[in-house]
Amino acid sequence: MDESCALSSASPNSLSNLFTFVLATYTTSLRQEIEMAETLLYNALKEAIDEEMARDSQVFVLGEDVGHYGGSYKVTKDLYKKYGELRVLDTPIAENSFTGMAVGAAMTGLRPIIEGMNMGFLLLAFNQIANNAGMLRYTSGGNFKIPLVIRGPGGVGRQLGAEHSQRLEAYFQGVPGLKMVACSTPYNAKGLLKAAIRDDNPVLFFEHVLLYNLKQDLPSEDYVLPLDKAEVVQEGSDVTILTYSRMRHHVAQATKLLDKEGIGADVIDLISLKPIDFETVGASIRKTHRVIIVEECMKSGGIGAELSASIMDRFFDELDAPVIRLASQDIPTPYNGTLENLTIVQPPQIVEAAQKLATNRL
Amino acid sequence: MVQERERVLPSFSTTQANITREDGLIVYEDMVLGRLFEDKCAEMYYRGKMFGFVHLYNGQEAVSSGVIKAMRKDDYVSSTYRDHVHALSAGVPAREVMAELFGKATGCSKGRGGSMHMFSSEHNLLGGYAFVAEGIPVATGAAFQSKYRREALGDPNADQVTACFFGDGASNNGQFFECLNMAALWKLPILFVVENNKWAIGMAHDRATSQPEIYKKAEVFDMAGVEVDGMDVLAVRAVAQEAVARARAGEGPTLIEALTYRFRGHSLADPDELRSKAEKDFWFARDPIKRLAAYLMEQNLATQEELKGINRRIQATIEEAVQFGLESPEPDPSELYRFVFAEDK
């Protein structure tokens, strides 16, 4: 990612250097440093949708500008030419109603994929997502199932302003019946989206607005990844780092430095935010006995808050130190670039937290 | 400002009513079932057999029976928190609705839903939706599904129509307008049936809306809109038949405004202090069941004895439903989490 250059020039050892680091990041031009290869993440998502639509005629896409315009990030570009305007349905700007419409279509046997032009717009559809997508199967005593995917660009982008830079996981995690998945690489984006489309439950599928241009070699054959399994990104025995979505890449920058210092981080990309894969999380904690949670979600009531509490419930005896939560600030995302960078977790903070835990300097 | 005078109910000549003896008796029986079922609910609620919010449908039976009995069994129905009678008209057995009200495992929603959340996939009952207007998008989705199967998948048998019931209060909500727009835009096979009973709990319809004649709101969406005397089941049926035919032919949706009245308060917890005696008397005099009974006898389609026989049979059905509900088991506590996810069958 683009911050790695700045990271090496800023001393990560003290939070007092964070401001310097943030400024350096802000003035660094936007560059992608992930290995360049075959498929861009947004095209991986398109391949997933295309393949599933070809495989199952009940699958269709709906949302704002998904058809003729090709989606706000071109994930559905030209699919309407292949599948027609009913299967790639351009909707009016009526989030709550077209989301409810997708629920009704799912109850009667179709498999809708909703694209939130920006996931933040789905706050306008909160009632349909919570009451009807999430709870209706239970409330109906199992009469209906709701195979529905709600996907789209989210997270904190670059100076998009508060409403387009939402951290929605906190809002949705309390809704019973919803699954929540966050992709982070082209490979897992494709395999997870295909699994979400095939799942019989409503799945909130989080894509990060700053990850769409990641590139990666993808297998040419069909593959599907499990929705409920965390991904072990790297193994280490000193500290467990639990993360997801874009923060996985911030963690990767931090671990480059930690590796040099001989601090072995066991990095886990949660993938499934609900339910959490506690089997994988637990196995790591039993190995390292130290945990850092790195998330872009807000600290209060966020994924990290829930995860931290659950770790206490399940693995208290395994812990040698309190769980450290690195989350974004409890403020609306500011427009100013420096303030925006201060709002979300930066790699030096991760490095510092890992150093403290590894040397018991808490 | 509360409406001083009643709206003039649209006239409907019984000579326009083209109903066979068989259909007449089906509709009559369905209305009696709705009425007696709700009366029994009130009794059971006051006897402490059912709990929570219970909203009864007394007085509005002509709308449910008039519309749903003009549809096919494979058509779809969606409702609101006032959903017991729509469920009965859609064919859900009275014992399953009553058992649901008792919170029993044998209820149509397995005791998880309650009064405001009756569901039955077997009867294409898309459910009772307790938040005002939230069922409208869901029903619109079911109608979209019919169009999708017919046009995108080429299934000629996918001509199912959806009837979406809601009240006057919902007609001021954004989901109502958004769905009228989408349904008209895509010519979806749906009937939007507004049961205008004049009151959204304590909010008089005229105090909540700038244009009280709801059916007129269809026009700006280039959609057919009709008003109908919701206390006359034959009038409702005629309007519904036309709308169903239009929908089934792929010619788009209809907004039906049925002018009706609930004979009881908003719910069994409502002290019903705002509605005037004069207003109630005006509507009580238009009891839709008495009106159909008179028509059937005038036209020599049924005798008084036959109708009394139906009443007795329905009363027995309801007693049996109560017995079934009382004797049914509670949901198993070990199944508290069952049905959260699709994997729980």
SS3 content of chain A, % helix, strand, coil (to 5): 40, 20, 40
Domain ranges in chain B? 19-328
| Phi, psi angle pair for A154, to nearest 5° | -145, -165
* Predicted pLDDT of residue A10: 35
* Predicted pLDDT of residue A33: 42
| Phi, psi angle pair for B227, to nearest 5° | -105, 150
* B237-285 per-position pLDDT tens digit: 999 999 999 999 999 999 999 999 999 999 999 999 999 999 999 999 9
- Selected residue with higher pLDDT from A4 and A122: A122
CA atoms within 13 A on the CB side of B247: 34
| Phi, psi angle pair for A185, to nearest 5° | -140, 160
For residue A69, the distance in angstroms to the closest alpha carbon of chain B comes to: 19
In DSSP notation, B143-161 reads HHHHHIIIIIS--TT----
Which CATH superfamily does the domain covering A39-216 fall into? Thiamin diphosphate (ThDP)-binding fold, Pyr/PP domains (3.40.50.970)
> A38 falls in which pLDDT band (50, 70, 90)?
confident
Cβ–Cβ < 8 Å for B42, B91: no
Q: Catalytic residue, from A47, A164, A207, A306: name it.
A: A164
For residue B136, the distance in angstroms to the closest alpha carbon of chain A comes to: 8
Q: Catalytic residue, from A52, A95, A306, A340: name it.
A: A95
The reply to whether residue B342 touches residue A87, judged by beta carbons under 8 angstroms, is: no
The residue of chain B nearest to residue A130, with distances taken between CA atoms, is: B134
d(CA A320, CA B30): 69
- The percentage of residues in chain A with a pLDDT greater than 70, rounded to a whole number, is 89
* Predicted pLDDT of residue B15: 80
Strand partners, B225: B255
d(CA A166, CA A131): 21
* Predicted pLDDT of residue B148: 98
* Predicted pLDDT of residue A236: 97
- The percentage of residues in chain B with a pLDDT greater than 70, rounded to a whole number, is 99
The reply to whether residue B147 touches residue A131, judged by beta carbons under 8 angstroms, is: no
The shortest CB-CB distance from B109 to any of A98, A100, A139 is to A139
pLDDT > 60? residue A6? no
d(CA A122, CA A344): 22
Q: Hey, which residues 177-196 in chain B have their CB within 8 Å of chain A?
A: 178-179, 181-182, 185
Sign of CA dihedral A76, A79, A81, A87: negative
Cβ–Cβ < 8 Å for A243, A297: no
Q: Is B119 on the interface with A (CB under 8 A)?
A: yes
* Predicted pLDDT of residue A4: 35
The shortest CB-CB distance from A141 to any of B78, B113, B136 is to B113
Q: Which segments of chain A belong to CATH 3.40.50.920?
A: 3-34+230-358
Per CB-CB distance under 8 Å, the chain A contacts of B141 are 100-108
**Check whether domain A3-34+230-358 has CATH 3.40.50.720, yes or no:** no
Question: Within 10 A of A330 (CB to CB), how many other CB atoms are there?
Answer: 13
The reply to whether residue A108 touches residue B76, judged by beta carbons under 8 angstroms, is: yes
What b/e sequence results for A288-319 when a residue is b if at least 16 CB atoms lie within 10 Å of its CB, and e otherwise?
bbbbbbbbbbbbeebbbbbbbeebeeebeebe
Q: Which segments of chain A belong to CATH 3.40.50.970?
A: 39-216
- Which H or E run contains A51? helix A41-55
* Predicted pLDDT of residue A22: 46
For residue A83, the distance in angstroms to the closest alpha carbon of chain B comes to: 9
- Let me know if A95 is a catalytic residue: yes
> B14 falls in which pLDDT band (50, 70, 90)?
confident
The reply to whether residue B141 touches residue A101, judged by beta carbons under 8 angstroms, is: yes
For chain A, the residue count is: 362
d(CA A170, CA B274): 43
The reply to whether residue B108 touches residue A98, judged by beta carbons under 8 angstroms, is: no
d(CA B45, CA B31): 21
The shortest CB-CB distance from B148 to any of A86, A140, A144 is to A86
For residue B125, the distance in angstroms to the closest alpha carbon of chain A comes to: 10
Q: Is B175 on the interface with A (CB under 8 A)?
A: yes
Mean pLDDT confidence for B286-298: 97
The residue of chain A nearest to residue B78, with distances taken between CA atoms, is: A104
DSSP letter, residue B331: P
Report strand pairing: B199-200 vs A59-63: unpaired
Q: What is the pTM of this model?
A: 0.93
- Selected residue with higher pLDDT from B269 and A101: A101
The residue of chain B nearest to residue A148, with distances taken between CA atoms, is: B342
Which CATH superfamily does the domain covering B19-328 fall into? Thiamin diphosphate (ThDP)-binding fold, Pyr/PP domains (3.40.50.970)
- Let me know if A249 is a catalytic residue: no
What b/e sequence results for B104-132 when a residue is b if at least 16 CB atoms lie within 10 Å of its CB, and e otherwise?
bbbbbbbbbbbbbbbbbbebbbbbbbbbb
Mean pLDDT confidence for A14-32: 43
d(CA B330, CA A55): 43
Mean pLDDT confidence for A11-38: 44
The shortest CB-CB distance from A96 to any of B109, B143, B175 is to B175
The shortest CB-CB distance from A92 to any of B112, B181, B340 is to B181
Long-range contacts of B1-7 (CB under 8 A, 24+ apart): B1/B206, B1/B207, B2/B204, B2/B206, B2/B207, B3/B198, B3/B204, B3/B205, B3/B206, B3/B212, B6/B279, B6/B282, B7/B212, B7/B213, B7/B259
d(CA A276, CA A177): 14
From residue B48, alpha-carbon distances to A125, B44, B278 in Å are 37, 6, 32
